[in-house]
Amino acid sequence: MHRYLLLMMMLLVASSTWVIAQQDEDEEPLPPPRRAMGPKIGGAAGFTQNILFFDMGPINDVLISANAAPFEGNGLLMLGGQGYGYILLLPNLRIGGMGASGTRKSTSVELQQSGFDIRRDVELSVGYGGVTIDYVIPVMPRLDLAAGILLGSGGMSFKMTRDDGTQKVWNGLWNEFGNSGPNGPFNYSRTLSGSFFIYQPTVNVEFALLRWLGLRVGGSYLGMAGSNWKVDDTYDLFGVPDKISGKGWMINGGIFVGTFVF
């Protein structure tokens, strides 16, 4: 009796071992353990494309009162570049520099009974540059979240040009320049420029297409403080309304070439 029980137990163990072995052969091998993401190293440089949204209302009110054409919409395309490198002593912290600028133009033509048209052009420019400090949070391989700030300087300018459409002659222009009459020359060009302290907090999502090529998209706020206005970069300009400023929200984009470890 004991022999039969022992034989049955041996057969049961043998059959169970065979079934387990067959299952192990059929199943795919387990993947190797996932490597933990280490700290960021290297650096990159690239081309940035940003859209700045700021209040054009106060600027358009001034243009309309001066018989100039207002700007349409509140968006300004700003192109620039950035470079950065990681500080190995502080994991995932990087320092670099960035700059960007953009321009818009409005044109109006006023018809005169004399047959000459008065053309008025206004060119609006906004630009800035400074030092960037970012902390990068790896989300998954190839995908990072970067939060940081830019500190620097920048400004905005208005180049105003008025022209009566007449033919320009060398001697006539110099005579016009030397005119000391009370009315002064009709045709003229002037630039009103304001300089500011710039601060720009930023949050970006960065994706590495390749180990040397990455893309960026995100948002930021361009802040301006401490304005100082000049006329033709020479004379102080007073009475500029506080609402005349290029501060506002931005949509960020960029293409970078460098070192992307994942």
pLDDT of residue 123: 96
Which residues are 129's β-sheet partners? 99, 153
**How many residues belong to the chain?**
262
CB 229 within 8 A of CB 197: no
Evaluate if residue 6 carries a pLDDT over 80: no
pLDDT of residue 231: 93
pLDDT of residue 4: 41
CB 150 within 8 A of CB 202: yes
Q: What residues does each domain of the chain span?
A: 38-104+129-155+195-258
Q: How many CB atoms lie within 10 A of CB 23?
A: 9
Evaluate if residue 253 carries a pLDDT over 50: yes
| Least confident window among 75-79, 174-178, 196-200, 249-253 | 174-178
Q: How many CB atoms lie within 10 A of CB 86?
A: 22
Higher pLDDT, 60 or 11: 60
For domain 38-104+129-155+195-258, give the CATH number: 2.40.160
Higher pLDDT, 223 or 30: 223
pLDDT of residue 19: 43
- Could you read off the pLDDT of 202-228 as tens digits, one per residue? 999 999 999 999 999 999 999 999 889
**pTM of this prediction?**
0.77
Evaluate if residue 92 carries a pLDDT over 90: yes
CB 232 within 8 A of CB 190: yes
- Could you read off the pLDDT of 141-151 as tens digits, one per residue? 999 999 999 99
CB 206 within 8 A of CB 216: yes
